[in-house]
Amino acid sequence: MSAVTRDEERYSEVGPGPLSRWSATVYWVLVIEALVVLTSLPGLVGLLFLGGSASNVPLVMLCLLPVGPSLAAAVFAWRDFLAQGRPGRDLTPARHFLRGYRLNWLDVLRWWVPTLVVLAILSVNAVHAGGVFATAALVLGVALLTWAGNALVLSAVFAFRTRDVARLAAYYLAAKPVAGLGVLALLVVAGGLAVLTSDWLVVLLASLLVLLLVRNAQPVIADATDRFTTN
């Protein structure tokens, strides 16, 4: 079969025109967003009944448990989307998302659970300590979330052991500082949206934010692929 024929077959799902490509991208965004919400639904429902009291922080973190695997599945799906290239993008985002969820949910929870525990401790300290201790807790929390952005991508795209994910996520904060700054920028955007509008707007934009995360992480993914995978 010739290369031209293969390209023609690819275009049978997504046409070559810009309108078709944009429509396909919007479709991916909507489907992945719906799946992120659906797979995170038990935790999201729990958050509806929790107030803003500091005493609820442990319960908030418990409600966020399903979010880690959901975001990792979204990373996996968007990685496939970008790897396909424009001529080869299909219209089955749910298949990619569900495959990513099936492959990665347990691996992600192995580091996501302790991350939430540490974030809960830092949050309580930031609320009750005040002054310098509150500032230190806030800085450590932001650093941990930036590390978690790298860990999310690495654990979703590669089959690394948990300890290797932890080490590489920290390593790439120094080795690829621009990517780390990109994760930090996304955190600032998400936090700003939550403060200025609503937490739920961040939830509704989760698919787009993950797409930006995956685009930002391309240098990390490329370096890890070259170093730690075989063709």
Please state, in angstroms and rounded to a whole number, the distance separating the CA atoms of residues 230 and 226. 8
pLDDT digits (tens, 9 = 90+) for 72-120: 999 999 999 998 765 446 889 999 999 999 999 999 999 999 999 999 9
**pTM: predicted TM-score of the whole model, two decimal places:** 0.89
The domain in which residue 218 lies consists of 3-228
Number of structural domains found in the chain = 1
**Spacing of C-alpha 172 from chain mean position:** 16
pLDDT digits (tens, 9 = 90+) for 24-64: 889 999 999 999 999 999 999 998 888 767 778 889 999 99
